[in-house]
Amino acid sequence: MKCPRVAAARCLASIAQEGSSLSRQLPRGEQDLDPAQRPLYRELCYGTLRYYWRLDAGLKPLFSKGLKPKDSDVKMLILIGAYQLFYTRIPPHAAINSAVEGCRSLGKKWAAGMANAILRRCQREQDSLFKDLKPAAEAAFPAWLYQAIAQAWPDQLTDIMAASNAHPPFCLRLNRLHQDRDSYLQRLAEQEMNASPCEFAPYGIRLDKACAVDKLPGFADGHISVQDEAAQLCTQLLDLHAGQRVLDACAAPGGKTGAILEAEPALAELVALDIDEQRLSRISDNLQRLQLSASLVAADAADLDSWWDGRHFDRILLDAPCSATGVIRRNPDIKLNRVVSDIAPLCRLQASLLDQLWQCLAPGGVFVYATCSLLPAENEAQISAFLSRQAGAELLPIAADWGVNRDGCRQLFPQEQGHDGFFYAVLRKKL
C-alpha cells in the first residue's frame, strides 16, 4: 500500500464499517507509507471525516446504482476525491486522477470509470450539488447530533458547528515548576515560533502553527506538554494543597495527572486510575518525562473491591467517559461512530462512576466531575440527578470568567481559535 489516498480510503472504510477509531487506524495505515506521504494521509482522513455528512448527502444522487458494503472503500475514495475538490487547493485533475488510479490499486478496475464520472460531475456542478441540503447535512453533522445540539444550544448552534468543523488549535501547558509563561514565550519567539498566552488557563500557550513535539524547546526535559486549554482548568477547581491524597479517575492518557502534580508537587499521594492497562503506560511515560511520580492503578473505577483500600481521598477528579461531542474537531470519526443509542448507556456509566467514587471521598473533600460533552444529559442533568440521590453532597457553584453558567456548573463551547468544548461541576461532601 504505497498510495496515501488508497490507505486513507481503507482507513475510512474500516471506521465506517467497524466503528473503529482514527487513533487505531491511522498508525496502522501509515506503516506502509513513506514519511513524506504521512501528512497528506492524515489530512485526507481527518478532512473527509470532518465533512463526511455534507459530502455524502451532496454526492448521494450521483451514485445511481449504489455500492455494496464490501465496496465501501470505493465510496470513501470518491469522497476523498470530492473533499480535495471542494476543501483543498489540490489541482482538480490530480484529485480526480488519484481517485481513478486508487480504484485500480484497490483491485477494483470496474470502479475507475464511475469514480471519474462522479468527480468530473462534481467539478462541473460544484456548489449546485449542495443547494437543497437539510441543515444537519449542510453543517456536516449527523442528523441526530445536530438536532440534539440545536435543541440544547439554539443560540450557540452556528458557532458550535463552525468550531467543530475547524482545525483545532495547538495548545500547550507550561510546567510551572521550571519557568514562568512569559519566559517560555520568549524561548518560542527565539525559535521563530509564533505563540500567545491562553485566555483562561494561566499556564496555557497557543501556537499559531502545530509542530512535532520534539521541536518544542524543553519538551524532552518536561518543561512543556500538549493539552487543550479547557482540560487545564481542572487544577483550579480542585483547590489543591500540600499533603492531600488525590484520585485522578479515568486518568489515561494522563494530561490531567501531570497538570495536578505540577500544580501541587507536595501531595501526599496521587493515584492515577484507568481501566486500560496499556493506556496507563502512556501516563508512566509522560510522568517520567515530567520527572514526576504517581501511583498507577489498572482497574474498573466503579468496582471498588478491585482497587480501593478503604483510605479516603481529599480530592477526586472524574473525567468521565462521554460522547466527546465537545472535541469532534480533534476526533472527527465521532461523527460516524457515535449514534443516538450510545447516550443512555454512557449516562448510566457516568452515574455509576459518580455513585461509587463518591464513597472514596473524605468528609469535607472536593469532587470535580468533568466531561468533554455538549449534551446536557451527560452534564448538568447528570449532576442534578446525583444530588437528588446523595443527601451528603452539595454543589459548589463555579465562579469563573469562562464558559456559561448551568445551575452552578460551567459549560464551555468549542472556540475556533480557542478551547475545546468541556463541562465542569464541583461537589463537596458534607462533614
How far is Cα 102 from Cα 91, in angstroms, rounded to an integer?
16
Our answer to whether residue 372 is catalytic in this structure is yes
How far is Cα 382 from Cα 272, in angstroms, rounded to an integer?
23
Label residues 124-133 b or e (16+ Cβ within 10 Å = b). Answer: eeeeebbeee
Q: Which of 11, 198, 372, 409 is catalytic?
A: 372
Rounded to 5 degrees, what angle do the CA atoms 29, 21, 10 make?
Answer: 40
Contact 264, 241 (CB under 8 A): yes
Contact 371, 378 (CB under 8 A): yes
Cell numbers linked to 250: 479515568
Contact 404, 159 (CB under 8 A): no
Specify the length of the chain in residues.
Answer: 431
Query: Is the bond preceding residue 253 a cis peptide, omega within 30 degrees?
Result: yes
Burial class (CB in 10 A: 0-12, 13-18, 19+), 74: buried
How far is Cα 317 from Cα 357, in angstroms, rounded to an integer?
10
Burial class (CB in 10 A: 0-12, 13-18, 19+), 13: buried
**Integer CA distances (angstroms), 1 to 33, 102, 108, 199, in order:** 7, 10, 15, 44
Element (H, E) at 157: helix 157-164
**Catalytic site positions:** 372
